[in-house]
Structure 1
Amino acid sequence: MAPRVLVSDELSETAVQIFRDRGVEVDFQPQLGKDKDKLAEIIGNYDGLAIRSATKATEKLIAAATNLKVIGRAGIGVDNVDIPAASRRGIIVMNTPFGNSITTAEHAIALMFAVARQLPQADASTQAGKWEKSKFMGVEITGKTLGVIGAGNIGSIVCARAIGLKMHVLAYDPFLSKERAEEMGVVKVELDELLAKADFITLHVPMTDKTRGILGAENLAKTKPGVRIINCARGGLVDEAALAEAIKAGHVAGAAFDVFEVEPAKESPLFGLPNVVCTPHLGASTTEAQENVALQVAEQMADYLIKGAVSNAINMPSITAEEAPILKPFIKLADVLGAFVGQVTDEPIKEIEILYDGATANMNTRALTSALLAGLIRTQVADVNMVSAPIMIKEKGIVLSEVKRDKTGVFDGYIKLTVTTESMTRAIAGTVFSDGKPRFIQIKGINLDADVGSHMVYIANTDVPGMIGFIGTTLGEAGVNIANFQLGRDKQGGDAIALLYVDGPIGDDVLAKLTAHPAIRQAKHLVFPVD
């Protein structure tokens, strides 16, 4: 059955056709996003929801979206999506961060020119029949220093354009390496140096706890007298009231804003001030950008629903279309490793360590870790998945660590999971053979080679004679057929394990007969979603 996507905001017909061409059934209702009650009434019928900004994917809507697997936002901002609620429900939230990069960067450059030459004010004056040539004295861009706060995707484009305009560019970005800065032709500096030297400052960072109010009163006071400030990123990065005071005091020569602390911005301390240029969040508003993000979100959602590829997800590791088929069997392996430990561990888990050995260390381990954690806690939360599992682990306060290393054993690559509780440590390792099926290769430090079946029996015992016969007889008397029987021990008379692949479920009465044997410490019926 083809997956179904609801498009509840305006997308182009070309974007809608992408869904159809990829084998996705589309319900195109571009005005539905404005009717939240009707949307909530029907959202349960869809696997995907494609939106712009009009549709509000609230916690209430997400609760009604019983079949929803993905929300795609055509654009970079996801303020209209309750991401924590979506994550808890296992819904992937995608955006299109690169579709409007050039458009936003160009708008920042345009605003820089506008505030440098007072273009809006000069235009209004001239069209009013005045000829105030001497009133609108501007400054040149050439040779000036531009300070770019945030040198990511959009910021790097602004840097390139500014260098083309013969400006000197300083960049402040904690994630910008020295090598990358040299490649871009910019000088990497700390924030205080940028503030002190820049003639123009433009912001291109997301809104986080660290960036909120990054240009507040204290930092504005550190800026070079006569600086001009441009913000096309997010409202709230600059303290508008503090900036207004700095403009009135003559310290800041001008500002150009496309984003505001409250939007729609009906009022702002900046409105009406001399040499302040304001636009109504037009950064992404070009014909090309709107079409680009629509096409991109359709491609991303279709790739996920049809191929399992994940790109530009806010709450899920990316999985490319090329790596999805290669990664798929290892995601299954990670899931069953987690499921094994989750089913045999009765105490609360305090620490989790995941070892990626050999070839697995070079894979998309974020995706593998997410799958493993989902399997681990599925015994406690039935509807957990790769999106919600990492959040649940974090909320439980469990310490999670990953280790990657080069090949150390006979296998090209394997995954080993170790969990620690208050009183014990338990470990299991597995790999994927050439048939693409997961195999258990080590449990509690004991080597073995076991297929993974839908129903399995795990037995931990002391190594004594007659154990195989006892287990076989007990299961045979209960009418349980054994498909595969694997044994292992650490030494003669020491710890031993048995792992059986059986044809169906086993009752508690059978497990009780097994554990009645004086040498058997634990017997568990395990279920794995492998068929």
Structure 2
Amino acid sequence: MRYINCLNNISAKGTDLLGSDYQLTDDIAQASGVLVRSAAMHDMDLPESLLAVARAGAGVNNIPLDKCAEAGVVVFNTPGANANAVKELVLCGMLLASRGILPGAAWCREHADSPTIGKDAEKAKKAFAGQEISGKTLGVIGLGAIGALVANAAIDLGMNVLGYDPYVSAEAAWRLSPSVEHVTNLDDVLHRSDYVTIHVPAMDSTRGMIGAHELEVAKPGCAVMNFSRDTLVDNAAMA
């Protein structure tokens, strides 16, 4: 019997695929395998029984790769498994950054008891109009499984899309709409884009890749979307 420990909530649609030779356990000390999403494992003691760690996500930055290698523990990830979900989150974030949806909803809650809310809303709604994303320019940094889906969806929404990825693979290039303009200079992407979304692995070379210089050359009013839990954007510089 192999025991599997889930450090995060893992859907039963996944765990039910484990055969009869596997059993879930809350005790990591007896686990042969670990399933993890975002839980940080760097400070964890790996049990001697551990054979494999599987990440339900694209990156492995929350897993101590060196420690696993020394212990002979195999590390897997699932690139592309959540790509469509992230794509939809990016599109949602772009719309929220464009239209005054959240401020408008807050205004409605604040004035919910007003007997003249309908009339007042007609006067107030222009403050929450925002702008349409159709015809605007989206810069996509990283053209892997997620970035390609985002780029193609933005094209379908009538946007101009700039794609930046120094290491784009032939397979990824085939997935891209021919309408995506491939740009080789990051500063050019930032200078031309109304929106920028970042989809690169979190590594030492990419953490803080959007810093003071990049924000200086970015188009005024550019909305930068970063859905990574790591600091790909220098938050101090952004502030």
Taking structure 2 as the reference length, the TM-score comes to 0.83
- In structure 1, what is the equivalent of residue 117 of structure 2? none
Whether 1:221 and 2:223 are equivalent positions in the alignment is no
Q: Which residue of 2 aligns with 1:147?
A: 139
CA distance in 1, matches of 2:157, 2:227: 19
1:127–1:59 CA distance, 2 compared to 1 (3 A) = closer
How far is 1:71 from its partner?
A: 1.2
Query: Which residue, 180, 185, 192 being the options, matches 1:197?
Result: 192
Partner of 2:166: 174
Please name the residue that 1:16 is paired with. Answer: 15
Contact 1:59–1:86, Cα closer than 8 Å, also in 2: no
The structure whose Rg is larger is: 1
Residue of structure 1 in register with 2:181 after alignment? 187
Counterparts of 2:210 and 2:42 in 1: how far apart (Å)? 31
How do residues 303-342 of structure 1 correspond to structure 2 at under 5 angstroms?
none
Aligned in 2, Cα 1:215/1:98: closer, same or farther, shift over 3 Å?
same
- Note the C-alpha offset of 1:235: 3.5
SS of 2:92's equivalent in the other structure is helix
Residue 138 (structure 1) aligned with residue 126 (structure 2) = no
Counterpart position of 1:99? 81
- List alignment gaps of at least 5 residues for structure 2: 112-119
RMSD of aligned C-alpha atoms?
A: 2.4
Take 1:142 and 1:118, find their aligned partners in 2: how far apart are those partners?
A: 16
CA distance in 1, matches of 2:104, 2:230: 26
Deviations 1:12-53 (A, max 9, x none): 444333212xx5231x23xx3xxxxx53xx33xx43223344
SS of alignment partner, residue 133 of structure 1 = helix
* Equivalent of 2:45 in 53, 58, 61: 61
Query: Which whole-Å CA distance do the structure 1 matches of 2:61 and 2:176 have between them?
Result: 33
Distance 1:133 1:202, change over 3 A: same
Secondary structure of 1:213's aligned partner: coil
Q: For residue 6 of structure 1, what is the amino acid of its counterpart? A: I
Query: Do residues 161 (structure 1) and 161 (structure 2) align?
Result: no
Tell me which stretches of 4 or more aligned residues in structure 1 moved more than 6 Å.
none
* AA matched with 2:209: I
Q: Which amino acid aligns with 2:125?
A: K
Cα 1:195–1:51 change in 2 (3 A) is closer
2:114 maps to none
Distance 2:102 2:61 in 1: 30
Residue 461 of structure 1: aligned partner: none
Which of structures 1 and 2 has the larger relative contact order (alpha carbons within 8 angstroms, sep 6+)? 2
Whose strand proportion is higher, 1 or 2?
A: 1
- Please give the secondary structure, in 2, of the residue aligned with 1:105: helix
Match of 1:19, SS? Answer: coil
Q: Deviations over 1:387-408 (max 9, x none)?
A: xxxxxxxxxxxxxxxxxxxxxx
CA contact (8 A) 2:148 2:175 kept: no
Identity %: 35
Equivalences for 1:386-425 in 2 at 5 Å? none
Match of 2:58? 76
For each residue in 1:107-136, what CA deviation from the matched residue of structure 2 results, as whole angstroms up to 9, or x when unmatched?
001110111012111211122117322322
SS of residue in 2 equivalent to 1:71: strand
How many residues are treated as equivalent by the alignment? 225
Q: Does 1:25 align with 2:18?
A: no
Unmatched runs of 5 consecutive residues or more in structure 1: 33-37, 245-531
Separation in structure 1 between the aligned mates of residue 95 and residue 69 of structure 2, nearest angstrom: 42
Measured in 1, the distance between the counterparts of 2:52 and 2:231 equals: 29
